[in-house]
Amino acid sequence: MFLTISTTGTLERPATDLGFLLHKHPDKAQMFSTSHGTAHVLYPEATAERCTAALLLEVDPVVLVRRGKGKGRGGAPDSALAQYVNDRPYAASSLLSVAMTTVFKSALRGDCKAMPERAASPLPLRIEVPALPARGGPELVHKLFGPLGWETVKAEPIALDEKFPDWGESRYVKLVLEGELRLADALRQLYVLLPVLDDAKHYWVAPDEVDKLLRAGEGWLAEHPEQNLITSRYLSHRWGLTRQAREALELVRLAEADDTEVETIDNAVDETTDTEEKPVPLAARRREVIMEVLRTSGATRVLDLGCGQGQLVQELLKDVRFTEIVGVDVSMRALNIASRRLRLEQMGERLAGRVKLMQGSLAYTDKRLKRYDAAVLSEVVEHVDPERLPALEYAVFGAARPQTVLVTTPNVEYNVRWETLPAGHVRHGDHRFEWTREEFRDWAGTVGERHGYDVEFLPVGPDDPEVGPPTQMAVFTKAARDKSVQETKGKDATDKGTTVKEAKAA
């Protein structure tokens, strides 16, 4: 298998900077051992004007068979000869993707301490794969790579035999990509799409493949028009894993859309109570109320679920009574922005010890979220499809079970007060719904009763006598009966433990 990555440059910004980004010196030919053969990295050309890095993967078919990977597509064993004589040593596939993660691990993450700005900037790239299986032909190649920012996508069919053109074309193409992209983005696209085009994987697809797909697809897969085909083929058509990946990508899409579009209605200034010198947006008012409720609750360890770009986390850090603050979001882009906003890398050790940012989906239970005093879901529930709200409900109230939970959401009745909002429209394009005050109270009351929480409702913003406040808040507190049951269980466990110790001592 063979892959080349080329770029051009000038004397001021030489093309040989590619060596820094790949963490492979252009003057050296390097060799790496993989589980299925040997990978070589070398530079056929390396000048200031043009630099090309080549990845050559020598696959040992005997090793593949001995490792139990000589299976044909669909899991049916090949004939004895076909286990050894096949296209694996020559045609780009998931074997090459795995080799890339071994050889270009740092480049895939976009890490380059020597040249961080260069790693974060687009480069003029030309990528060539001489033999690429394409089940779907050149048309599918264009569908997969075309929406990803490449100026040129060439998929030249390879004839079965050039001497006998009547035999027709093979299922292989020569791939050429040209355009200005970040190197990390280009490598991650190849990592995902090479096995997708081959529509086969050389190894067993386990549940952790979903996480690998989400990491490699960050920034492009959630919005890709062929997302369904990509997820299905990458996960070897395993429906359970494919559905899990699609649900996570949908959450990413919603989160990233929420990050990139300014919610002008949500952040509008309330001019009814503030002076012209110091207007206060509704979003700021919401954070003020949340902070006040958290202080009153006595919480010290707080979860911000759906933390977005970290505005609330930043406010919590200013108050020393909050000793542990965890921001959770499904969007890595949002978390990266939050990290920059908080200046995590420049924080002192004591301050940095109080805050943590984690990627996670509220559609699934997460043991990392247990044993916290309070959790905040600020403007989160309305971005979740109604049929998936029970999953979020159980993850927060049934599994994590903090002492206090704060939920804020828009009050749709107040929308008539926004002059800039057309009638019948929701405040943000990604809102799946917006509740009336009665609907919100019904939902919150049902959740509280089901999971043992008392519920109190508070207005956020001006409380209009006719339509209510612009934002409505529910404060869930573990019911006294629920707390006493938990304490009783703990006491019983302690008593039993003491009895056992006494028995042993006797």
Contact 380/305 with Cβ under 8 angstroms?
Answer: yes
* Boundaries of every domain in the chain: 2-203, 282-486
Lowest-confidence pick of 112-121, 397-406, 497-506: 497-506
Look at residue 78 in the predicted model and tell me its pLDDT: 44
pLDDT at residue 266 tops 70? no
Q: Which residue has the higher pLDDT, 64 or 329?
A: 329
Looking at residues 135-146, what average pLDDT do you find?
A: 94
pLDDT at residue 264 tops 80? no
pLDDT at residue 272 tops 80? no
Beta-bridge partners for 177 = 127, 153
Q: Which of 110, 251, 267, 249 is nearest to 183 (CA)?
A: 110
CATH of 282-486, one of 3.40.50.620, 3.40.50.150, 2.40.160.20, 3.40.50.300: 3.40.50.150
- The number of residues in the chain equals 506
Lowest-confidence pick of 146-155, 169-178, 424-433: 424-433
Contact 103/39 with Cβ under 8 angstroms?
Answer: yes
Task: Write the burial class of residue 24 (CB in 10 Å: 0-12 exposed, 13-18 middle, 19+ buried).
Answer: buried
Contact 473/405 with Cβ under 8 angstroms?
Answer: no
pLDDT-derived band of residue 70, with 50, 70 and 90 as boundaries?
Answer: very low
Q: Which of 385, 384, 381 is nearest to 411 (CA)?
A: 381
pTM over cut 0.75: no
Q: What is the CATH number of domain 2-203?
A: 3.30.1610.20
pLDDT at residue 180 tops 70? yes
pLDDT at residue 292 tops 70? yes
pLDDT at residue 243 tops 90? no
Looking at residues 360-382, what average pLDDT do you find?
A: 93
Lowest-confidence pick of 177-181, 442-446, 481-485: 481-485
Look at residue 426 in the predicted model and tell me its pLDDT: 85
Look at residue 256 in the predicted model and tell me its pLDDT: 54
Q: How many CB atoms are located within 10 Å of the residue 432 CB?
A: 15
Task: Write the burial class of residue 87 (CB in 10 Å: 0-12 exposed, 13-18 middle, 19+ buried).
Answer: middle
Look at residue 503 in the predicted model and tell me its pLDDT: 33
